[in-house]
Structure 1
Amino acid sequence: MDVYLNETQLLNYRHRMIEELIESHQWREIDSLQEQISAVYNFVRNEIKFGYNRGDDLTASEILEDGLGQCNTKSILLMALLRGVGVPCRVQGFTIDKKMQKGALTGITYTLAPQKIIHAYTEIWVNHEWLALEGVIIDDKLLAQTKNHLSDQGDKLIGYGVSVKKGDGFNTCFNGKSTFIQVASVVDHLGTFNSPDELFQQYSNNRLKLKMWIFNTFMRKGINANLQKIRDQGVRESK
Protein backbone atom coordinates (compact mmCIF):
# COMPACT_ATOMS: atom_id res chain seq x y z
CA MET A 1 0.00 0.00 0.00
CA ASP A 2 2.99 2.36 0.28
CA VAL A 3 2.69 3.46 -3.35
CA TYR A 4 -0.83 4.72 -2.59
CA LEU A 5 0.47 6.91 0.25
CA ASN A 6 3.41 8.55 -1.51
CA GLU A 7 3.75 12.30 -1.80
CA THR A 8 4.14 13.43 -5.43
CA GLN A 9 4.63 16.75 -7.18
CA LEU A 10 0.85 17.24 -7.46
CA LEU A 11 -0.01 15.49 -4.19
CA ASN A 12 2.21 17.80 -2.15
CA TYR A 13 0.63 17.02 1.22
CA ARG A 14 3.73 18.10 3.16
CA HIS A 15 3.26 21.65 1.89
CA ARG A 16 2.73 24.12 4.72
CA MET A 17 -0.83 24.99 3.63
CA ILE A 18 -1.90 21.36 3.48
CA GLU A 19 -0.24 20.48 6.78
CA GLU A 20 -1.86 23.47 8.51
CA LEU A 21 -5.28 22.51 7.14
CA ILE A 22 -4.97 18.92 8.36
CA GLU A 23 -3.74 20.06 11.78
CA SER A 24 -6.42 22.75 12.20
CA HIS A 25 -9.21 20.25 11.50
CA GLN A 26 -7.53 17.53 13.60
CA TRP A 27 -8.34 14.93 10.95
CA ARG A 28 -5.48 12.66 12.08
CA GLU A 29 -7.02 12.47 15.55
CA ILE A 30 -10.36 11.03 14.37
CA ASP A 31 -10.53 7.42 15.57
CA SER A 32 -13.15 6.10 13.15
CA LEU A 33 -11.74 5.58 9.64
CA GLN A 34 -15.14 6.19 8.05
CA GLU A 35 -15.59 9.44 9.99
CA GLN A 36 -12.06 10.52 9.12
CA ILE A 37 -12.63 9.93 5.40
CA SER A 38 -16.04 11.59 5.59
CA ALA A 39 -14.60 14.70 7.25
CA VAL A 40 -11.91 15.13 4.57
CA TYR A 41 -14.36 14.28 1.79
CA ASN A 42 -16.98 16.77 2.99
CA PHE A 43 -14.39 19.51 3.25
CA VAL A 44 -13.36 19.06 -0.39
CA ARG A 45 -16.97 18.61 -1.52
CA ASN A 46 -18.39 21.75 0.07
CA GLU A 47 -15.56 24.07 1.12
CA ILE A 48 -13.92 23.71 -2.31
CA LYS A 49 -16.76 24.80 -4.60
CA PHE A 50 -17.32 23.31 -8.02
CA GLY A 51 -15.64 25.60 -10.54
CA TYR A 52 -12.96 25.85 -13.17
CA ASN A 53 -9.24 26.23 -12.43
CA ARG A 54 -6.63 27.45 -14.89
CA GLY A 55 -5.63 23.85 -15.63
CA ASP A 56 -5.89 20.25 -14.52
CA ASP A 57 -2.34 19.54 -13.39
CA LEU A 58 -2.19 21.91 -10.41
CA THR A 59 -0.68 20.99 -7.07
CA ALA A 60 -2.96 20.31 -4.13
CA SER A 61 -1.76 23.50 -2.42
CA GLU A 62 -2.61 25.57 -5.52
CA ILE A 63 -6.10 24.08 -5.65
CA LEU A 64 -6.61 24.77 -1.95
CA GLU A 65 -5.56 28.37 -2.54
CA ASP A 66 -8.01 28.64 -5.47
CA GLY A 67 -10.85 27.48 -3.22
CA LEU A 68 -12.62 25.78 -6.13
CA GLY A 69 -12.16 22.85 -8.46
CA GLN A 70 -13.66 20.41 -10.94
CA CYS A 71 -13.34 16.64 -11.20
CA ASN A 72 -9.61 16.55 -11.90
CA THR A 73 -8.47 19.22 -9.47
CA LYS A 74 -10.80 18.17 -6.66
CA SER A 75 -9.42 14.65 -7.05
CA ILE A 76 -5.88 15.97 -6.64
CA LEU A 77 -6.72 17.86 -3.45
CA LEU A 78 -8.81 15.01 -2.04
CA MET A 79 -6.01 12.51 -2.67
CA ALA A 80 -3.39 14.77 -1.08
CA LEU A 81 -5.48 15.24 2.06
CA LEU A 82 -6.33 11.53 2.29
CA ARG A 83 -2.70 10.49 1.89
CA GLY A 84 -1.75 13.17 4.37
CA VAL A 85 -3.90 11.48 7.03
CA GLY A 86 -2.79 7.98 6.00
CA VAL A 87 -5.63 6.76 3.77
CA PRO A 88 -4.36 4.85 0.69
CA CYS A 89 -5.83 6.15 -2.58
CA ARG A 90 -5.42 6.05 -6.34
CA VAL A 91 -7.09 7.70 -9.35
CA GLN A 92 -9.23 6.42 -12.20
CA GLY A 93 -9.02 8.20 -15.57
CA PHE A 94 -11.84 8.47 -18.13
CA THR A 95 -13.22 10.62 -20.88
CA ILE A 96 -16.65 12.09 -20.31
CA ASP A 97 -19.22 13.57 -22.70
CA LYS A 98 -19.23 17.37 -22.49
CA LYS A 99 -23.06 17.50 -22.66
CA MET A 100 -23.26 17.05 -18.89
CA GLN A 101 -21.45 20.40 -18.46
CA LYS A 102 -24.12 22.37 -20.32
CA GLY A 103 -25.46 25.04 -18.00
CA ALA A 104 -22.15 25.26 -16.17
CA LEU A 105 -20.53 26.02 -19.52
CA THR A 106 -22.62 28.15 -21.89
CA GLY A 107 -22.33 29.86 -25.26
CA ILE A 108 -18.91 29.97 -26.90
CA THR A 109 -17.31 28.37 -23.84
CA TYR A 110 -19.42 25.25 -24.29
CA THR A 111 -18.76 25.29 -28.04
CA LEU A 112 -14.98 25.45 -27.54
CA ALA A 113 -14.95 22.55 -25.07
CA PRO A 114 -13.83 19.24 -26.61
CA GLN A 115 -16.61 16.69 -27.15
CA LYS A 116 -14.85 14.27 -24.80
CA ILE A 117 -13.27 15.76 -21.67
CA ILE A 118 -10.63 14.12 -19.49
CA HIS A 119 -12.29 13.08 -16.24
CA ALA A 120 -10.85 11.64 -13.05
CA TYR A 121 -12.04 10.46 -9.68
CA THR A 122 -10.39 9.20 -6.51
CA GLU A 123 -10.62 5.67 -5.16
CA ILE A 124 -9.78 4.74 -1.56
CA TRP A 125 -8.73 1.37 -0.12
CA VAL A 126 -11.11 0.57 2.74
CA ASN A 127 -11.94 -2.80 4.29
CA HIS A 128 -10.09 -4.69 1.56
CA GLU A 129 -11.90 -3.04 -1.35
CA TRP A 130 -11.61 0.05 -3.54
CA LEU A 131 -14.39 2.62 -3.17
CA ALA A 132 -15.01 5.48 -5.62
CA LEU A 133 -15.40 9.04 -4.35
CA GLU A 134 -16.67 10.76 -7.50
CA GLY A 135 -19.51 12.43 -5.57
CA VAL A 136 -17.02 14.94 -4.17
CA ILE A 137 -17.15 17.03 -7.36
CA ILE A 138 -20.40 18.99 -6.94
CA ASP A 139 -20.95 21.04 -3.78
CA ASP A 140 -24.29 20.81 -1.96
CA LYS A 141 -25.38 24.40 -2.68
CA LEU A 142 -24.91 24.06 -6.43
CA LEU A 143 -26.59 20.65 -6.50
CA ALA A 144 -29.58 21.92 -4.53
CA GLN A 145 -30.12 24.75 -7.03
CA THR A 146 -29.69 22.67 -10.19
CA LYS A 147 -30.99 19.14 -9.58
CA ASN A 148 -34.57 20.06 -10.57
CA HIS A 149 -33.35 21.69 -13.80
CA LEU A 150 -31.36 18.85 -15.33
CA SER A 151 -31.92 17.75 -18.92
CA ASP A 152 -33.84 14.48 -19.35
CA GLN A 153 -31.74 12.27 -21.61
CA GLY A 154 -33.79 9.09 -21.55
CA ASP A 155 -32.03 6.94 -18.97
CA LYS A 156 -30.15 9.78 -17.27
CA LEU A 157 -30.38 13.36 -16.04
CA ILE A 158 -27.56 15.72 -16.99
CA GLY A 159 -26.45 19.34 -16.78
CA TYR A 160 -24.51 21.81 -14.63
CA GLY A 161 -21.72 19.28 -14.10
CA VAL A 162 -24.13 16.53 -12.99
CA SER A 163 -24.83 13.22 -14.76
CA VAL A 164 -26.80 10.52 -12.95
CA LYS A 165 -28.77 7.48 -13.98
CA LYS A 166 -32.48 7.82 -13.36
CA GLY A 167 -33.42 6.01 -10.18
CA ASP A 168 -29.93 6.29 -8.69
CA GLY A 169 -30.61 9.63 -7.00
CA PHE A 170 -27.89 12.09 -6.08
CA ASN A 171 -25.33 9.93 -4.34
CA THR A 172 -22.85 12.44 -2.91
CA CYS A 173 -22.69 11.71 0.86
CA PHE A 174 -19.98 9.28 1.95
CA ASN A 175 -21.33 6.63 4.31
CA GLY A 176 -18.82 3.87 3.72
CA LYS A 177 -19.86 3.20 0.11
CA SER A 178 -18.91 4.59 -3.29
CA THR A 179 -20.32 7.96 -4.33
CA PHE A 180 -21.05 9.20 -7.87
CA ILE A 181 -22.33 12.38 -9.52
CA GLN A 182 -20.95 12.45 -13.11
CA VAL A 183 -20.31 8.81 -13.97
CA ALA A 184 -23.42 8.37 -16.15
CA SER A 185 -21.70 10.38 -18.92
CA VAL A 186 -18.43 8.42 -18.96
CA VAL A 187 -17.36 7.45 -22.49
CA ASP A 188 -13.94 5.76 -22.24
CA HIS A 189 -11.87 4.29 -19.41
CA LEU A 190 -8.28 5.54 -19.68
CA GLY A 191 -6.87 3.41 -16.89
CA THR A 192 -6.05 3.16 -13.21
CA PHE A 193 -3.15 5.29 -11.97
CA ASN A 194 -1.18 5.42 -8.74
CA SER A 195 -1.18 9.22 -8.86
CA PRO A 196 -2.72 12.07 -10.88
CA ASP A 197 0.82 12.96 -11.99
CA GLU A 198 0.90 9.72 -13.99
CA LEU A 199 -2.58 10.31 -15.43
CA PHE A 200 -1.90 13.87 -16.60
CA GLN A 201 1.47 12.97 -18.06
CA GLN A 202 -0.45 10.81 -20.54
CA TYR A 203 -3.77 12.66 -20.88
CA SER A 204 -4.72 16.29 -20.49
CA ASN A 205 -7.43 18.83 -21.30
CA ASN A 206 -4.71 21.51 -21.40
CA ARG A 207 -2.84 20.55 -24.56
CA LEU A 208 -4.70 22.93 -26.88
CA LYS A 209 -2.74 25.94 -25.72
CA LEU A 210 -4.64 28.61 -27.67
CA LYS A 211 -8.03 27.40 -26.42
CA MET A 212 -6.71 27.28 -22.86
CA TRP A 213 -5.34 30.83 -23.17
CA ILE A 214 -8.69 32.10 -24.47
CA PHE A 215 -10.52 30.22 -21.72
CA ASN A 216 -8.31 31.52 -18.91
CA THR A 217 -8.03 35.08 -20.24
CA PHE A 218 -11.61 35.79 -21.25
CA MET A 219 -13.98 33.14 -19.89
CA ARG A 220 -13.04 31.36 -16.70
CA LYS A 221 -13.71 34.21 -14.28
CA GLY A 222 -17.18 34.79 -15.74
CA ILE A 223 -18.05 31.08 -15.63
CA ASN A 224 -17.13 30.79 -11.97
CA ALA A 225 -19.05 34.00 -11.18
CA ASN A 226 -22.11 32.56 -12.93
CA LEU A 227 -21.85 29.33 -10.93
CA GLN A 228 -21.79 31.37 -7.74
CA LYS A 229 -24.83 33.32 -8.95
CA ILE A 230 -26.66 30.02 -9.47
CA ARG A 231 -25.77 28.98 -5.90
CA ASP A 232 -27.10 32.27 -4.55
CA GLN A 233 -30.14 32.83 -6.80
CA GLY A 234 -30.95 29.55 -8.50
CA VAL A 235 -31.31 28.67 -12.17
CA ARG A 236 -33.04 31.14 -14.44
CA GLU A 237 -34.95 29.16 -17.04
CA SER A 238 -34.81 30.54 -20.59
CA LYS A 239 -38.18 31.62 -21.99
Structure 2
Amino acid sequence: MERLADFETDIVATKAASLTADATTTRDKLDRLFRYVRDDIVFGFPPEGDFVKASDTIRFGYGQCNTKATLLLALCKACRIPARIHFSLIRKDIQKGFFTGLAYWLVPDEISHSWIEVEIDGRWRKIDTFINDLPLFNAAKEALHERGWSTGYSLALTDGEASPDLDLDHEAFQQMAAVTGDHGTWDDPADYYASAKYRNRPGRVKLWAYRLMIGRINRRVRDLRAGAVI
Protein backbone atom coordinates (compact mmCIF):
# COMPACT_ATOMS: atom_id res chain seq x y z
CA MET A 1 0.00 0.00 0.00
CA GLU A 2 1.23 3.51 -0.83
CA ARG A 3 2.63 5.53 2.08
CA LEU A 4 0.11 7.93 3.62
CA ALA A 5 2.56 10.02 5.67
CA ASP A 6 4.13 11.27 2.42
CA PHE A 7 6.64 13.62 4.04
CA GLU A 8 8.92 13.79 1.01
CA THR A 9 6.29 15.34 -1.27
CA ASP A 10 6.77 19.00 -2.11
CA ILE A 11 3.62 20.25 -0.41
CA VAL A 12 4.43 18.54 2.92
CA ALA A 13 8.14 19.38 2.89
CA THR A 14 7.46 23.00 1.95
CA LYS A 15 4.77 23.38 4.60
CA ALA A 16 7.02 21.89 7.28
CA ALA A 17 9.89 24.19 6.29
CA SER A 18 7.74 27.33 6.25
CA LEU A 19 6.15 26.55 9.61
CA THR A 20 9.48 25.99 11.33
CA ALA A 21 11.68 28.51 9.52
CA ASP A 22 12.39 30.62 12.62
CA ALA A 23 12.26 27.82 15.20
CA THR A 24 15.53 27.22 17.04
CA THR A 25 14.77 24.07 19.05
CA THR A 26 12.97 20.80 18.48
CA ARG A 27 10.28 21.85 20.95
CA ASP A 28 9.76 25.10 19.06
CA LYS A 29 9.44 23.22 15.78
CA LEU A 30 6.96 20.76 17.24
CA ASP A 31 4.88 23.58 18.74
CA ARG A 32 4.52 25.24 15.33
CA LEU A 33 3.61 21.96 13.61
CA PHE A 34 1.14 21.13 16.35
CA ARG A 35 -0.67 24.48 16.16
CA TYR A 36 -0.96 24.23 12.39
CA VAL A 37 -2.47 20.74 12.51
CA ARG A 38 -4.76 21.61 15.42
CA ASP A 39 -6.21 24.87 14.13
CA ASP A 40 -5.48 25.37 10.43
CA ILE A 41 -6.62 21.82 9.69
CA VAL A 42 -10.08 21.98 11.23
CA PHE A 43 -11.84 18.87 12.47
CA GLY A 44 -14.10 17.18 9.92
CA PHE A 45 -14.72 13.81 8.28
CA PRO A 46 -13.32 13.28 4.75
CA PRO A 47 -15.35 11.12 2.34
CA GLU A 48 -12.29 8.88 1.95
CA GLY A 49 -12.34 7.97 5.65
CA ASP A 50 -8.88 7.14 7.00
CA PHE A 51 -7.22 6.58 3.62
CA VAL A 52 -6.03 10.15 3.09
CA LYS A 53 -2.42 11.16 2.42
CA ALA A 54 -0.87 13.91 4.51
CA SER A 55 -0.47 15.99 1.36
CA ASP A 56 -4.18 15.70 0.63
CA THR A 57 -5.15 16.72 4.16
CA ILE A 58 -3.15 19.92 3.63
CA ARG A 59 -5.11 20.50 0.41
CA PHE A 60 -8.47 19.67 2.03
CA GLY A 61 -7.88 21.81 5.12
CA TYR A 62 -9.73 19.42 7.40
CA GLY A 63 -9.46 15.95 8.89
CA GLN A 64 -10.35 13.64 11.75
CA CYS A 65 -8.17 11.92 14.36
CA ASN A 66 -6.48 9.46 12.01
CA THR A 67 -5.95 11.78 9.05
CA LYS A 68 -4.73 14.65 11.23
CA ALA A 69 -2.38 12.23 12.98
CA THR A 70 -1.06 11.13 9.58
CA LEU A 71 -0.37 14.76 8.71
CA LEU A 72 1.39 15.57 11.99
CA LEU A 73 3.48 12.41 11.59
CA ALA A 74 4.52 13.47 8.09
CA LEU A 75 5.37 17.02 9.15
CA CYS A 76 7.51 15.72 12.02
CA LYS A 77 9.33 13.36 9.66
CA ALA A 78 9.90 16.21 7.22
CA CYS A 79 11.55 18.16 10.07
CA ARG A 80 13.52 15.11 11.21
CA ILE A 81 11.71 14.99 14.54
CA PRO A 82 11.56 11.31 15.61
CA ALA A 83 7.87 10.41 15.43
CA ARG A 84 5.61 7.39 15.18
CA ILE A 85 1.87 6.77 15.08
CA HIS A 86 0.18 4.72 17.79
CA PHE A 87 -3.05 2.89 17.01
CA SER A 88 -5.66 1.59 19.39
CA LEU A 89 -9.36 0.92 19.64
CA ILE A 90 -11.68 3.62 20.92
CA ARG A 91 -15.34 3.51 21.93
CA LYS A 92 -17.68 4.77 19.25
CA ASP A 93 -19.38 7.13 21.68
CA ILE A 94 -16.44 9.49 21.08
CA GLN A 95 -18.48 10.72 18.05
CA LYS A 96 -21.89 10.67 19.74
CA GLY A 97 -23.67 13.90 18.90
CA PHE A 98 -22.06 14.15 15.45
CA PHE A 99 -23.10 10.66 14.37
CA THR A 100 -26.79 10.15 15.16
CA GLY A 101 -29.55 7.73 14.22
CA LEU A 102 -28.63 5.26 11.48
CA ALA A 103 -25.14 6.73 11.09
CA TYR A 104 -24.35 6.04 14.74
CA TRP A 105 -25.90 2.57 14.58
CA LEU A 106 -23.68 1.63 11.61
CA VAL A 107 -20.48 2.47 13.50
CA PRO A 108 -18.92 -0.57 15.26
CA ASP A 109 -18.81 -0.42 19.07
CA GLU A 110 -15.03 0.03 18.86
CA ILE A 111 -13.21 1.76 16.03
CA SER A 112 -9.55 2.19 15.10
CA HIS A 113 -8.02 5.37 16.46
CA SER A 114 -4.57 6.94 16.55
CA TRP A 115 -2.38 9.55 18.14
CA ILE A 116 1.22 10.67 17.66
CA GLU A 117 4.27 9.94 19.75
CA VAL A 118 7.43 12.05 19.45
CA GLU A 119 10.85 11.50 20.98
CA ILE A 120 11.93 14.59 22.88
CA ASP A 121 14.88 14.65 25.30
CA GLY A 122 15.25 10.88 25.06
CA ARG A 123 11.63 10.07 25.93
CA TRP A 124 8.65 9.16 23.77
CA ARG A 125 5.68 11.45 24.54
CA LYS A 126 2.04 10.95 23.53
CA ILE A 127 0.09 13.75 21.80
CA ASP A 128 -3.61 13.73 20.86
CA THR A 129 -4.54 17.35 21.59
CA PHE A 130 -4.22 18.30 17.92
CA ILE A 131 -7.42 16.42 17.01
CA ASN A 132 -10.01 19.15 17.59
CA ASP A 133 -9.40 22.71 16.48
CA LEU A 134 -9.63 25.17 19.38
CA PRO A 135 -13.09 26.66 18.56
CA LEU A 136 -14.56 23.16 18.22
CA PHE A 137 -12.85 21.96 21.39
CA ASN A 138 -14.34 24.80 23.43
CA ALA A 139 -17.82 24.32 21.96
CA ALA A 140 -17.70 20.54 22.40
CA LYS A 141 -16.60 20.76 26.02
CA GLU A 142 -19.44 23.16 26.78
CA ALA A 143 -21.94 20.91 25.00
CA LEU A 144 -20.79 17.87 26.99
CA HIS A 145 -21.20 19.71 30.27
CA GLU A 146 -24.65 20.94 29.25
CA ARG A 147 -25.77 17.40 28.36
CA GLY A 148 -24.10 15.76 31.33
CA TRP A 149 -22.03 13.51 29.04
CA SER A 150 -18.44 12.51 29.66
CA THR A 151 -17.85 11.44 26.04
CA GLY A 152 -19.08 12.71 22.68
CA TYR A 153 -18.55 15.48 20.11
CA SER A 154 -14.98 14.15 19.57
CA LEU A 155 -14.01 14.61 23.24
CA ALA A 156 -13.62 12.23 26.17
CA LEU A 157 -13.43 14.04 29.50
CA THR A 158 -11.34 12.74 32.39
CA ASP A 159 -12.79 14.01 35.69
CA GLY A 160 -14.70 16.56 33.64
CA GLU A 161 -11.64 17.89 31.86
CA ALA A 162 -9.70 17.61 28.59
CA SER A 163 -6.99 19.75 27.04
CA PRO A 164 -6.37 21.54 23.74
CA ASP A 165 -2.74 22.24 24.59
CA LEU A 166 0.64 20.74 23.74
CA ASP A 167 2.22 19.93 27.10
CA LEU A 168 5.12 17.56 26.59
CA ASP A 169 6.12 17.37 30.25
CA HIS A 170 2.65 16.86 31.77
CA GLU A 171 0.72 14.93 29.12
CA ALA A 172 -2.93 15.91 28.76
CA PHE A 173 -5.38 14.53 26.25
CA GLN A 174 -8.62 14.99 24.32
CA GLN A 175 -9.74 11.43 23.54
CA MET A 176 -7.52 9.09 25.57
CA ALA A 177 -10.22 8.47 28.19
CA ALA A 178 -12.27 6.58 25.57
CA VAL A 179 -9.39 4.39 24.34
CA THR A 180 -9.74 0.64 24.89
CA GLY A 181 -7.48 -1.95 23.16
CA ASP A 182 -3.86 -1.15 22.27
CA HIS A 183 -2.63 -1.90 18.73
CA GLY A 184 0.92 -0.61 19.13
CA THR A 185 3.13 1.84 17.25
CA TRP A 186 3.63 1.96 13.48
CA ASP A 187 5.94 3.81 11.13
CA ASP A 188 3.19 4.63 8.62
CA PRO A 189 -0.62 4.36 8.86
CA ALA A 190 -0.73 2.32 5.66
CA ASP A 191 0.99 -0.56 7.46
CA TYR A 192 -1.68 -0.63 10.15
CA TYR A 193 -4.54 -0.26 7.67
CA ALA A 194 -3.24 -3.29 5.77
CA SER A 195 -3.18 -5.39 8.96
CA ALA A 196 -5.89 -7.57 10.49
CA LYS A 197 -6.04 -5.22 13.49
CA TYR A 198 -7.67 -2.41 11.51
CA ARG A 199 -11.39 -2.07 12.33
CA ASN A 200 -12.58 0.78 10.12
CA ARG A 201 -12.47 -1.05 6.79
CA PRO A 202 -16.05 -0.71 5.47
CA GLY A 203 -17.82 -2.92 2.99
CA ARG A 204 -19.36 -1.40 -0.10
CA VAL A 205 -22.76 -0.81 1.52
CA LYS A 206 -21.36 0.86 4.63
CA LEU A 207 -18.99 2.97 2.57
CA TRP A 208 -21.87 4.10 0.36
CA ALA A 209 -23.95 4.93 3.43
CA TYR A 210 -21.04 6.81 5.06
CA ARG A 211 -20.49 8.96 1.99
CA LEU A 212 -24.21 9.61 1.73
CA MET A 213 -24.43 10.83 5.33
CA ILE A 214 -21.06 12.52 5.81
CA GLY A 215 -22.24 15.89 4.53
CA ARG A 216 -24.90 16.09 7.23
CA ILE A 217 -22.42 14.91 9.88
CA ASN A 218 -19.91 17.58 8.89
CA ARG A 219 -22.66 20.22 9.05
CA ARG A 220 -23.22 19.22 12.69
CA VAL A 221 -19.50 19.71 13.29
CA ARG A 222 -19.58 23.16 11.67
CA ASP A 223 -22.76 24.14 13.53
CA LEU A 224 -21.27 23.22 16.90
CA ARG A 225 -18.04 25.06 16.09
CA ALA A 226 -20.16 28.14 15.28
CA GLY A 227 -21.98 27.89 18.61
CA ALA A 228 -25.25 26.32 17.49
CA VAL A 229 -27.05 23.84 19.73
CA ILE A 230 -27.12 20.41 18.02
TM-score, scaled relative to structure 2: 0.90
Deviations 1:207-228 (Å, cap 9, x if unpaired)? 3232012211x11122112211
SS at match of 1:125: strand
Deviations 1:104-153 (Å, cap 9, x if unpaired)? 21221111111111001110000111111111111111111121221546
1:213 matched residue in structure 2: 208
SS at match of 1:165: coil
2:164 to 169, 172, 175: 172
Q: Given residue 205 of structure 1, which amino acid in structure 2 is its aligned partner?
A: N
Contact 2:85 2:187 in 1 (8 A): yes
Residue 47, structure 1, aligned to residue 50, structure 2: no
Contact 1:91 1:195 in 2 (8 A): yes
1:163 to 148, 156, 160: 156
Q: Given residue 50 of structure 1, which amino acid in structure 2 is its aligned partner?
A: F
Residue 51 of structure 1: CA displacement? 1.1
Question: What does residue range 112-127 of structure 1 map to in structure 2 within 5 Å?
Answer: 112-127=106-121
> What is the CA–CA distance in structure 2 between the aligned matches of 1:18 and 1:64, rounded to whole Å?
8
Q: Given residue 141 of structure 2, which amino acid in structure 1 is its aligned partner?
A: K
Structure 1: any 5+ residue segments left out of the alignment? 1-7
1:189 matched residue in structure 2: 182
Q: Given residue 209 of structure 1, which amino acid in structure 2 is its aligned partner?
A: R
Question: What does residue range 58-73 of structure 1 map to in structure 2 within 5 Å?
Answer: 58-73=52-67
> What is the CA–CA distance in structure 2 between the aligned matches of 1:192 and 1:152, rounded to whole Å?
34
1:4 matched residue in structure 2: none
> What is the CA–CA distance in structure 1 between the aligned matches of 2:209 and 2:94, rounded to whole Å?
22
> What is the CA–CA distance in structure 1 between the aligned matches of 2:36 and 2:55, rounded to whole Å?
14
> What is the CA–CA distance in structure 1 between the aligned matches of 2:229 and 2:153, rounded to whole Å?
10
SS at match of 2:184: strand
SS at match of 1:30: coil
Contact 2:83 2:117 in 1 (8 A): yes
TM-score, scaled relative to structure 1: 0.87
Percentage identity across aligned positions?
28
> What is the CA–CA distance in structure 2 between the aligned matches of 1:119 and 1:209, rounded to whole Å?
21
- More displaced 10-residue stretch of structure 1: 122-131 or 171-180: 171-180
Aligned length: 223
> What is the CA–CA distance in structure 1 between the aligned matches of 2:136 and 2:91, rounded to whole Å?
20
Residue 109, structure 1, aligned to residue 103, structure 2: yes
2:31 matched residue in structure 1: 38
Question: What does residue range 82-161 of structure 1 map to in structure 2 within 5 Å?
Answer: 82-150=76-144, 152=148, 157-161=150-154
Residue 16, structure 1, aligned to residue 7, structure 2: no
Contact 1:117 1:205 in 2 (8 A): yes
1:201 to 186, 194, 200: 194
> What is the CA–CA distance in structure 1 between the aligned matches of 2:30 and 2:120, rounded to whole Å?
10
User: Given the superposition, is the C-alpha separation of residues 189 and 92 from structure 1 closer, same or farther in structure 2, using an over 3 Å criterion?
Assistant: same
> What is the CA–CA distance in structure 2 between the aligned matches of 1:176 and 1:187, rounded to whole Å?
23
SS at match of 1:136: coil
SS at match of 2:165: coil
SS at match of 1:233: coil
2:216 to 209, 215, 222: 222
Contact 1:145 1:235 in 2 (8 A): no
